[in-house]
Amino acid sequence: MSEWIQALGQDYRSTQPSPGLTVLVWDKLGIRVYPDNGKSPNASVVTIVLNHMDREAAGFEVAAPGTELEPLSVISQPLSLQGLVITNRTTVRDLRTAGGQAWDFSCTKGVATCFTHRTDLAPDQLSIAFAVDGRIEDSVIYTLELQQAPQL
């Protein structure tokens, strides 16, 4: 986790949602990082918050910004993810249109999570997931979660 602190800076808070799991939250950047202990102690899961999800969008009670795992702020600039530009106004439909045939999307209802990967890359090189609300296609992206596959 020290490489994340070096890259993102010392202005973070540490929270422990469960025993043995420490999550680092950069409130001003809208980013949280935690180890993926299930795969490797050196693998990290990075979540970038583009929009705060409220109770209505989630369908259940959610943590307020700046508490628990929820950063106080959202990321303030556009992201480029392997050629796709993502902002806090980007919808799933926008991503499908921009990605064309180079991207494969799979969304589930209920949990409201979408997974995607480049069709020209092995799907296990980078895990990309994002949280959406019940509108799925017309939902904005709430969080973008990235995880690199462990090197064998």
What would the pLDDT profile of 116-132 be if each residue is shown by its tens digit?
888 877 666 778 899 99
d(CA 152, CA 129): 22
List the Cα angle 15/19/24 in 5-degree steps: 25
Amino acid at residue number 130: F
Predicted model pTM: 0.87
β-strand partners of 94 = none
Q: Which two tokens stand for residue 125?
A: 């090189």
pLDDT in tens, 31-50: 999 887 655 656 689 999 99
Which pLDDT value is given to residue 17? 85
How many structural domains comprise the chain? 1
d(CA 24, CA 111): 24
Listing DSSP states for 71-103 in one string gives -SS---S-EEETTEEE-TT-BHHHHHHHHGGGE
Range of the domain at 70: 2-148
pLDDT in tens, 74-111: 998 999 988 889 999 999 999 989 988 888 888 887 66
